[in-house]
Structure 1
């Protein structure tokens, strides 16, 4: 009985004819849908790639961005002598007075011992992609040391103004080019 039913169904199906216009519209609709899906997939993958780029850039920026850590440091007594640059007490234009609060010393790599070793022991900071060692002594002075171009730079900021020292380092020593 089931075999007879299948035979009748097959004959009935064979006798049905689809109009040519309906077949063309159906084929056209299928092609349009396939193109739409391809476009959708393209934009999905493009959005995923953009997200990956944003995450990678954010990670890079996080690791290469500024990370300022000024740690307390105590130097061994008698190990070094700091030349003070106290300046003149006359009224000066803004910025001039601040510059006199800085002492900048430049050494060759083999003269690394001229910078207190306690400063090299602090956890390094990062300013414009450069590693710099920042410390503050009990008397409030800020000390910065870093190596670049075969030289060692040692900077002492007398007033303890962290913002001034960091801006000074960014503007005068750490030039980061993309």
Structure 2
């Protein structure tokens, strides 16, 4: 059974992320979306909120699971009995950033990294940019699922969910 890990901070999970996860799910028996926890960064959404949003957004993909991870990515790959790390690329700057990590991950564990180009409609989209646009009153809806867009707007507007 083949398994792949799609790591990221996903703060928030964009349609570009969804595109990569969906294509990965079509190619592997199991896909683990890993919400990577960086203790040095404070996200807009908590890790639990990100997991819940991604689970809802990917509910139609039965071979996709979502979990958090702190530590070396290769340890998660090993724990999940996966062989492949899948990373979405938007532009050549993403490749320059990701290539050394992919080489280190292969040296540490033998896990290969598959780079997948995102849909050109989302090549300019990042979670940070989407949050900035939304905070400044711009339209972020074209880059997010409706539920995630609503969650983002609720966060920005200080709406508390019960």
* TM-score interval (norm. to shorter): under 0.3
TM-score, with length taken from structure 2:
0.22
Using CA pairs under 8 Å that are at least 6 residues apart, name the structure with larger relative contact order, 1 or 2: 2
